Amino acid sequence: MGRLFGTDGVRGVANADLTAELALGLSVAAAHVLAEVGTFEGHRPVAVVGRDPRASGEFLEAAVVAGLASAGVDVLRVGVLPTPAVAYLTGALGADLGVMLSASHNPMPDNGVKFFARGGHKLADELEDRIEKTYHGHAAGQPWDRPTGAGVGRVRDYAEGLDTYVAHLVGVLPNRLDGLKIVVDAAHGAASRVSPEAFIRAGAEVITIGGDPDGLNINDGCGSTHLGPLRAAVVEHGADLGVAHDGDADRCLAVDATGAEVDGDQILAILALAMREAGTLRQDTVAVTVMSNLGFKLAMEREGIEMVQTAVGDRYVLEAMKVHGFALGGEQSGHVIVLDHATTGDGTLAGLLLAARVAATGRPLADLAGVMERLPQVMVNVSDVDRSRVASEPRLQRAVCDAEEELGTTGRVLLRPSGTEPLVRVMVEAADIEHARTVAGRLADVVKTTLG
């Protein structure tokens, strides 16, 4: 039996892998485990539940709410809001648990369940393991201890969530955005109302695209996974910059006034310099993953800023930040964590802070992004393979070693199974893009023939 929890909650095709029964059972299991570890001790427990606008989120939300209430947990249903909004509200409202229903950047048929602990932090691995074990125990026939009468949870809508979250975002900005024209691509996702509203309240002139979710069009040819529409809109409207979110808005990528991409590494580099200038970059260090471009490392070394690398996944970046007391971290994919203002990656906050730096310096985004030069990087996703055997196949390990020897000090290779999708990712960096493509293609072929 495979592990239910991946690097970002439990995900799968809604109503196939991720069923209403599974969502309900996981919610009850989470309530029981948190009760066992003392989270609910001495008070009536409260959970915040939100979702992105996927059609399947409607029945999955109902299942989660039913599961929590049946376990004696009161529920504040905040509706369609970004993942970082649910995390923030979990902390701000003093809730014991947060639940977000989203599959982030994945296609519309997928969905996921993500739990937050008290304070809005992601659950520790050991708690996820206990929840999964408890769930499987119940599925095998172990009965639940069910409250009755006044002991069952009560459910109410919390419509104030959007305003509370947007006010928080605007309130933490170092300066206003007056005079900037910004295009926001909300990916027809959870930030379709939040992100444009936040930029407008901060003083920017906003053009919104990808802001009309219908339950079926999330991430469909738009957002951070498809920057073409954003590039075109920025150029068409003569905007200063554009920002793109994914379906649950825990990511942000940007484009400059010419339509050129500004990725997560560049956003982190810009914010690192701004925070050091403001005296808020604790230990002058940024936490990033092994996927960060080599150009980021070289730029930070040149600027006298330290870099700590973690495994891929914003949860591991966050863990390093909390352990060492760092203020800034993130991923090339656009997860940017500013720990003084958020407990997880927050795409709207990252976009606002990036725009605030443009406004404060009067420099174009392209100029600010020039702090680092991205080395050519090629990513090949190999599907329909057994990703569990990546680290154990000798032929594959030999191919990686040969590639690393061929690239020498001018590049690197990273081979890893995806934590959220049934893929093996092959990443190659090299001084020359064609060389990177050749090596990546060769390695992808080995992955396919070895693990297929």
Residues with a known catalytic role: 104
Burial class (CB in 10 A: 0-12, 13-18, 19+), 255: buried
Q: How many Å apart are CA 162 and CA 311, to the nearest integer?
A: 33
Confirm or deny that 445 is annotated as ligand binding: no
Cα end-to-end distance, the chain, whole Å: 20
Q: Half-sphere exposure of residue 354, counting CA atoms within 13 Å on the CB side?
A: 37
Measured CA angle at 158 (ends 77, 26), to 5 deg? 15
Per DSSP (E only), the strands in 130-275 are: 155-157, 181-185, 205-209, 241-244, 253-255, 261-262
CA-closest candidate to residue 250, choices 350, 108, 115 = 350
Phi, psi at 271, each rounded to 5°:
-70, -35
Q: How many Å apart are CA 108 and CA 380, to the nearest integer?
A: 22
Cα-to-chain-centroid distance, residue 28:
25
Give 344's DSSP letter.
S
Confirm or deny that 250 is annotated as ligand binding: yes
Burial class (CB in 10 A: 0-12, 13-18, 19+), 338: buried
CA-closest candidate to residue 103, choices 94, 93, 112 = 112
Give 388's DSSP letter.
G
154, amino acid identity: R
Q: How far is CA 141 from CA 29, 69, 134, in A?
A: 13, 21, 11
Confirm or deny that 346 is annotated as ligand binding: no
Return left, alpha or beta for 215; rule: phi > 0 is left, psi -120 to 50 is alpha, else beta.
left
Token digits for 354? 């990036």
Q: How many C-beta atoms surround the C-beta of residue 123 within 10 A? A: 22
Q: How far is CA 435 from CA 373, 375, 377, 440, 442, in A?
A: 18, 12, 10, 9, 11
Q: How many Å apart are CA 126 and CA 33, to the nearest integer?
A: 11
Strand order in the sheet with 336-338: 306-310, 285-289, 328-330, 336-338
Pairing, β 423-429 against β 412-417? antiparallel
Confirm or deny that 220 is annotated as ligand binding: no
Pairing, β 336-338 against β 97-101? unpaired
| Binding site, annotated residues for Mg(2+) | 104, 246, 248, 250
| Binding site, annotated residues | 104, 246, 248, 250
